[in-house]
Chains A and B, each alone.
Chain A
Amino acid sequence: MARAAIGSEIEKLIRLFSGLPGLGLRSARRVVLYLIKREEQLLRPLSRALEMVADSIKICSCCGNIDTTDPCCVCIDPKRDLSVICVVEDVSDLWALERARVMNSHYHVLGGVLSALDGISPHDLNIKRLIERACVPEVQEILLAVNSTVEGHTTAHYITDILGDCNVRVSRLAQGIPVGGELDYLDDGTLAAAINARTIF
């Protein structure tokens, strides 16, 4: 019978780590060993931080963002432009836009996109709250920053339709050649979109 080389608690930790994106069992073992060797500098602070986040995590009732307060820090920020709401598919998209520091607006997280095969209907998305927010007099523009996919565009068209009664301008992100993109390597669709959306230079 094979003897256990490590205790069940450590084994459990390795299994939990191996479920994280980018980590397999082998990398999880390395991570756990690394943490154990740095107990005071990493293991204990990490454990405390995880517990703290788990206890205080909240979904913003206004925009759907993930934060430790409700409303989230984006919604209560007085320096943000109240007239624009940027609609994103997921919290990771919101974080990406914030990282780029290109938006100073408020956000709205849909929590996914309409998908025929996955059976995701408008009721499964955070659309009702978006309509309520769009009807507030201060809001003048809804920017649909959804991914340029079939599902993303289907969702964008649907939202544009249902916002028809609200007195807001609906815009979407531009499509075309990415920074550093080479024409030779671009697909036909991106090239066509870039040609159609060309601007005066």
Chain B
Amino acid sequence: MEWKETGFILGVRPYGETSALLESWTRDHGRAMGLVRGGLSRRWKGILQPGNRIVLNWRGRFSEQLGVFIVEADHLYASELMNCPLALLALNVMNELVHIIPERDPHPRLFDSYEHLLNAMSKGYVWLADLVRFELKVLSELGFGIDLTSCVATGDVDNLVYVSPRSGRAVSRSAGLPYSDRLLPLPPFLLDDTLVTNDIPLLLQGFKLAGFFLDRHVYSFRKIAPSCMREILIKRLILL
């Protein structure tokens, strides 16, 4: 069996003394693993870095096999992000999130968001709101998406300012006011995908919201430690 696709590097682990186990993220084949022969050599070190876009040629006798990758560099994002601490942390957070997605399970919409976010980070656009959206998209792709279309109590589509931690659905200002201390604030940029913001308090609200549901549906559920990179990123944002 054989397939060829452009994808991103999520991580690389040594395999033996000279080869590397490459974890990649592709549009049509999802999270795919494979062996890169000679992947630990000096020649490949610069290319096999997380975040880099590469052309992957996978070969294996059966689709269930680990298989062997023949890789070729396409766009080396990693070196473009290395001088930006926030972007590097975000890249780690994104890779960690993609890592929890089952192997060989394609998620084209999530892949497009990943690519869009990486592009924005490398070009220096405003991207932090997109990172929050990406986190929520991961939850959605895993089947735990939150519903922000209308108020869970009244059905209103306007003035949605809270999210119910119990149902994961939006709550309008009027319906949520008496319970505001128990509800999660909903930042406006999550209601409109075209909105970009650098407003730190709003972004922190977004990270708090996504973090709550990530913790409930991913970290606590799977009994794994929450992402330390995410924690460092949020601490850095608070200090900005």
Contact = CB atoms under 8 A, between A and B. Distances in A.
Say whether A associates with B: yes
A154 B88 contact: yes
Interface stretch (A32-40, A63-71, A129-137, A189-197): A189-197
Interface string B69-95: 000010010111111010011011101
Nearest to A23: B17
Given A21-B17, A157-B88, A189-B76, A116 B49 contact: no
A192 B79 contact: yes
A22 interface: yes
B93 A153 contact: no
B99 A117 contact: yes
Contacts of A154: 85, 88-89, 92, 229
A158 B49 contact: no
A154 B81 CA distance: 10
A157 B85 contact: yes
A189 B78 contact: yes
Interface residues of B, number: 35
14 contacts: A114-B229, A116-B92, A117-B23, A117-B50, A117-B96, A118-B11, A122-B228, A148-B82, A149-B45, A154-B85, A160-B85, A187-B79, A189-B46, A190-B46
- The 4 A-B residue pairs whose C-beta atoms are closest, nearest first, are A189-B79, A157-B85, A121-B228, A116-B92
Interface string A1-43: 0000000000000000000011000000000000000000000
B10 interface: yes
Interface of A: 21-22, 114-119, 121-122, 148-151, 153-154, 157-158, 160-161, 187-190, 192-193
Interface of B: 10-11, 13, 17, 23, 45-47, 49-51, 73, 76, 78-83, 85, 88-89, 91-93, 95-96, 99, 225, 227-229, 232, 236, 239
A122 B83 CA distance: 20
A122 B82 CA distance: 19
A108 B81 CA distance: 26
A189 B47 CA distance: 9
A150 B76 contact: no
Task: Give chain B's interface secondary structure class.
Answer: helix
A74 to B, nearest CB: 27
Given A116-B11, A188-B79, 17 more contacts: A21-B17, A22-B17, A114-B92, A114-B228, A115-B11, A116-B96, A117-B23, A118-B13, A122-B232, A149-B49, A150-B50, A157-B89, A187-B46, A189-B79, A189-B80, A189-B82, A192-B80
Most chain A Cβ neighbours within 10 Å, of B73, B85, B96: B85
A196 to B, nearest CB: 8
Contacts of A22: 17
Nearest to B232: A158
A190 B76 CA distance: 10
Given A187-B47, A189-B46, A193-B79, A117 B88 contact: no
A83 to B, nearest CB: 26
Contacts of A157: 85, 88-89
Contact of B229 (A116, A189, A190): A116
Nearest to B75: A188
A151 B45 CA distance: 13
A18 B60 CA distance: 29
B228 A150 contact: no
Given A150-B50, A157-B85, A117 B11 contact: yes
Nearest to B79: A189
Contacts of B232: 122, 158
B194 to A, nearest CB: 29
B78 to A, nearest CB: 5
Contacts of A114: 92, 228-229
A164 to B, nearest CB: 9
A189 B95 CA distance: 20
B23 A153 contact: no
Contacts of B45: 149
A22 to B, nearest CB: 7
B96 A150 contact: no
